[in-house]
Amino acid sequence: MDYNWNWAIFGELSPDGVNTYWQMLLSGLGWTLATSLAGWAMALLLGTLVGVARTLPQRWLRLVAGGYVELFRNVPLLVQMFLWFFVVPELLPRAAGDWLKALPQAPFVTAVVCLGFFTSARVAVQVAAGIDALAGGQAQAALALGLTRGQAYRHVLLPLAVRIVLPPLTSEFLNIIKNSSVALTIGLVELTASARAIQEFSFQVFEAYTAATVLYVLVNLVVTAGMHAVERRLALPGTLGKY
Amino acid sequence: MASIRLFVFLTLALVAGAIHAQQPPGTLAKIGRDGYITLGVREGSVPFSYLDDKGRFIGYSVDLCMKIVDEVKKRLNKPVEVRMTPVSASNRIPLMANGTIDLECGSTTNNADRAGQVAFSPTIFVIANRLLTRKTANIRSLADMKGKTLVATAGTTTLKQMTALNRERNLGMRIVIGKDHPESFLMLETNRAAAEANDDILLAAQVAGSKQPADYVIGSEALSLEPYGIMLRRGDPAFKEVVDAAIRAAFASPDFPRLYAKWFTSPIPPKGINLNVPMSPQLQKVVANPTDSPDPAAYR
């Protein structure tokens, strides 16, 4: 391959005249983290609610939750990003649409909402699977003790289910960090977009993407380590799980 | 821990392998050996390189590239299959550097920065960067954009120039990025940006193809002068000579005015839009005296 390597490029000033390329990369990393963490918080909350709804005795609730999952799980993320950014504001009343488009961080807000809904569908399936994996007797025993259904979920079913689905939830957490790069298609300058901008301004493609790759791997290693610590912390001797 | 060490080892091995990869043979020899040439083409750079309604890549740059292919066939004295690979503004330079494409037939500015990674044919078109706005927005020049939102396409010289101008002139513009030219126009069309900065010829094509062409106006202020060239690999003088000869011959041919008229002053597929852009004095100069200079001053 005929290519001029230049690792010193990161110290150079970018065309905006203020930041070096290295600072551009770090700012991108910041947006990646902010987007993924906010999206993850939303996904956990919505995903747990929808996942619980999928296991309730009320048939209509299960149907609604199932529809939610199919809707957000089956449309490609790239398409959802486009729909939320370009189509939804046009469907809203004129004033609301204009307000949305004029938000100072419209791409960020859109990316968080889109990733939050997309990932929540996947979290919901995992939470529901975790609850279903518990022996049916757990719920009945909790109810027989005089707990209401809400208390049974809060004190018995969810705490046990969460321990079972922690490993797939870790994968989902890693996924949302990587998926946040799709937000570059709506103009959010996150890590991948920063690497691309460096490439476009300096033409040092491989250096820029190498740096981005290393940063993604580092972040994901930290998340993996953190989630392992959580797993160990929550482990109950004698139940499912490694610890 | 062992898995992390293995991962680091594999990554280093991969990078080392990439650095020590074999130098490829000259492009002409490679085409002769493989029996095919790969053209990098664009999906939405009307009228230089784009898809028609039958899914074929057509355009002014594609036509010129086919003339280069004819010259290659003549030099090699054997048939050469033409393969087309869609590229984007962002990936065209890496795909050229790693040998995926042999020629890039799009709307690519030849500038001094890019000379570090790629080479260019003689200039095939000369454009100016301008602003596209809605008539109702009343924006006459870049100075009127103070504090407003501007869209430019990722990977373009325009984006880089606008970023620099924003700072030099203290405009405080918010610059948003479209991933390709159609998306940049979509940002303007849906009022996410007050203006789109782009090459005037591409803007003319966007307006002509839009739902309400009468709503838009292309600014008269030329923010730059840029030569377009067909991109090839750097450091391959033998292939560059073939490309140069083919383009010079095309310009000198009595058929050239017809080739120009086919794309710029006649209805073009797929919608039969006529861009109505007569040959600029800058391009006339280039056709009379072909040059591959990246210096804008050479075209004034």
pLDDT tens figures, A175-217: 999 999 999 988 888 999 999 888 878 878 889 999 999 999 9
- Residue B158 identity (one-letter amino acid): T
Of all residues in chain A, what percent carry a pLDDT higher than 70? 97
Mean pLDDT score of chain A: 92
What is the per-residue burial (b if ≥16 Cβ within 10 Å, else e) of A72-109?
beeeebeebbbebbbeebeeeeeeebeebbeeeebbbb
Average pLDDT (B197-224) is 93
Please report, for residues B63, B167, B188, the alpha-carbon distance to residue B288 in angstroms, rounded to integers and kept in the order given: 19, 38, 38
Judge whether A124 and A73 are in contact, CB under 8 Å: no
Q: Which of B24, B90, B233 sits opposite A199 (nearest CB)?
A: B90
Judge whether A44 and A123 are in contact, CB under 8 Å: yes
Distance from CA of A69 to the nearest CA of B (A): 29
Q: What pLDDT, on the 0 to 100 scale, is given for residue A199?
A: 84
Mean pLDDT score of chain B: 90
pLDDT at B22 over 80: no
Question: Which of B11, B100, B149, B177 should we substitute to test contact with A (largest number of A Cβ atoms within 10 Å)?
Answer: B177
pLDDT digits (tens, 9 = 90+) for B115-158: 888 999 999 999 999 999 999 999 999 999 999 999 999 878 89
Residues of B within an 8 Å Cβ radius of A: 4, 7, 15, 18-19, 21, 23-24, 89-90, 93-94, 97-99, 113-114, 116-117, 154-156, 159-160, 163-164, 166-168, 176-179, 183, 186-187, 190-192, 233-235
**Helix pair angle (B256-264, B60-76), 10° resolution:** 140
**Residue A18 with chain B: CB contacts under 8 Å:** 167
Rounded Cα gap, residues A191 and A196, in angstroms = 9
Judge whether B106 and B41 are in contact, CB under 8 Å: yes
Q: Could you tell me if the ipTM is greater than 0.90?
A: no
Position with higher pLDDT, B13 vs B157: B157
Judge whether B248 and B122 are in contact, CB under 8 Å: yes
pLDDT at A240 over 70: no
Average pLDDT (B70-83) is 96
Q: What pLDDT, on the 0 to 100 scale, is given for residue B10?
A: 56
CB of A7 within 8 Å of any CB in chain B? no
Residue B217's CB is within 10 A of a number of other CB atoms, namely: 18
Please report, for residues A87, A185, B275, the alpha-carbon distance to residue B50 in angstroms, rounded to integers and kept in the order given: 25, 21, 15
Rounded Cα gap, residues A225 and A229, in angstroms = 6
Of all residues in chain A, what percent carry a pLDDT higher than 90? 74
Q: Could you tell me if residue B77 is left (phi over 0), alpha (psi between -120 and 50 degrees) or otherwise beta?
A: left
Q: Which of B113, B164, B190 sits opposite A203 (nearest CB)?
A: B113
Distance from CA of A199 to the nearest CA of B (A): 8
Q: What pLDDT, on the 0 to 100 scale, is given for residue A104?
A: 80
Rounded Cα gap, residues A5 and A35, in angstroms = 32
pLDDT digits (tens, 9 = 90+) for B162-187: 999 999 999 999 998 888 888 999 99
pLDDT digits (tens, 9 = 90+) for B48-67: 999 999 999 999 999 999 99
pLDDT at A45 over 90: yes
8 Å CB contact of B99 and A1: yes
Q: Which of B99, B163, B234 sits opposite A15 (nearest CB)?
A: B163
Rounded Cα gap, residues B263 and B278, in angstroms = 10
Confidence tier at B13 by pLDDT (50, 70, 90): low
**Helix pair angle (A191-202, B157-168), 10° resolution:** 90
Confidence tier at A2 by pLDDT (50, 70, 90): low
Confidence tier at B1 by pLDDT (50, 70, 90): very low
